[in-house]
Amino acid sequence: MTVISVKYTPGTMSVKPVLKMGHPILQQVAQPVTEFNTAELDIIIADMYDTMAALDGAGLAAPQIGISQQIVIFCVEDNPRYPDIEPVPDTVLINPEISALSDERVSDWEGCLSVPGLRGLVSRYNKIKYRGFDQNGHIIERIADNFHARVVQHEVDHLAGILYPQRMDDMSKLGFEQELFPRDE
Ligand code: NI
């Protein structure tokens, strides 16, 4: 089943191992991208899409596949890991900057491919502006709220070496998904 449309040529699919919490690359501040529209950048992004799609992720940051550069991708379209969530546009965001547009914060459950099996309740700004570049160097500037704003804040945190448990106020709200959200047989 295809959950996210990924453009790839059969046989070239490249799903990378995802680093897990504790790996030092996930704790580093990632380097800005200095050259756009390059084959090297396109390969990194293609590998990120293949990896995100294979694991049903809502987003992925380059450090999660071991590349300490300021590149994130996100996309939510009929994702089985997030069944009740509004769609988030399919986006490549490079060298991002975020600013909060109000002080309002909302708590909701997050997961992360680098923290497999767990979910945690995380407070985030509900409305943000974000700015960055796509892979061709074109400026992206958007206002986002709700889950879209949450995904962007989560992914951009990866570029600062921050994983969502570090954003949690109440560690009693960190747990295994199957215990927190038991499913009927
Ligand atoms: Ni994550």
Cα of 116 to ligand 1 centre, how many Å?
A: 10
Q: Which amino acid is at 164?
A: Y
Query: 3-state DSSP call for residue 26?
Result: helix
Number of Cβ within a 10 Å radius of residue 92: 20
Structural domain spans, the chain:
24-180
Sheet with 139-145, strands from edge to edge, namely 59-61, 71-76, 88-100, 127-133, 139-145
Cα of 35 to ligand 1 centre, how many Å?
A: 25
Sign of CA dihedral 63, 66, 72, 78: negative
Instruction: Using the predicted structure, report yes or no on whether residue 82 has a pLDDT greater than 80.
Output: no
pLDDT band at 11 (very low <50, low <70, confident <90, very high): low
Cα of 86 to ligand 1 centre, how many Å?
A: 18
Cα of 63 to ligand 1 centre, how many Å?
A: 10
Q: Which residues are catalytic?
A: 155
Instruction: Using the predicted structure, report yes or no on whether residue 9 has a pLDDT greater than 60.
Output: no
Output the pTM of the full model. 0.90
Considering only the top CATH level, what class is 24-180? alpha beta
- Using one digit for the tens of pLDDT, what is the confidence trace for 54-63? 999 999 999 9
